[in-house]
Amino acid sequence: MVACTHEEFEPQPPNGEHPIVAVVAVIAMIAAMLLITWVRFEVHGTSDIEAALTEEGPDAEPRPDEERELDAAVTSNRFATGVSAH
């Protein structure tokens, strides 16, 4: 068995990457997340989120059986293919 040396666990140099590049990359990722969230609110609105938080249904009137069956089929297909968000 070979003993571990302290030199093996020292931080490696960044291979020529400037620290500012890493900071800019992190800022770009945060900006992308904020942009995606903003677009989601602009496109879909917040009514579904408000309904989920207040535990009210999104529709006040009951939906027909055909529409509920279609929603159930789409949802099961979405989960079967691994795509869970719409």
Tens-place pLDDT, residues 44-57: 888 877 777 776 55
How far CA 34 is from CA of 16, 28, 39, 41, 70, in Å, comes to 30, 10, 9, 11, 33
Q: What is the pTM of this model?
A: 0.44
Counting the structural domains of the chain, the total is 1
| Region class of 16: left (phi > 0), else alpha (psi between -120 and 50), else beta | left
Q: Does residue 84 lie within any of the structural domains?
A: no
Q: Does residue 30 lie within any of the structural domains?
A: yes
- For residue 2, the model assigns a pLDDT of 63
Mean per-residue pLDDT over the chain, rounded: 76
What's the gap between Cα 26 and its chain centre?
17
Give the range of the structural domain holding residue 42, as residue numbers without chain letter: 18-56
The tokens for 53 are: 């938080």
Q: Does residue 66 lie within any of the structural domains?
A: no
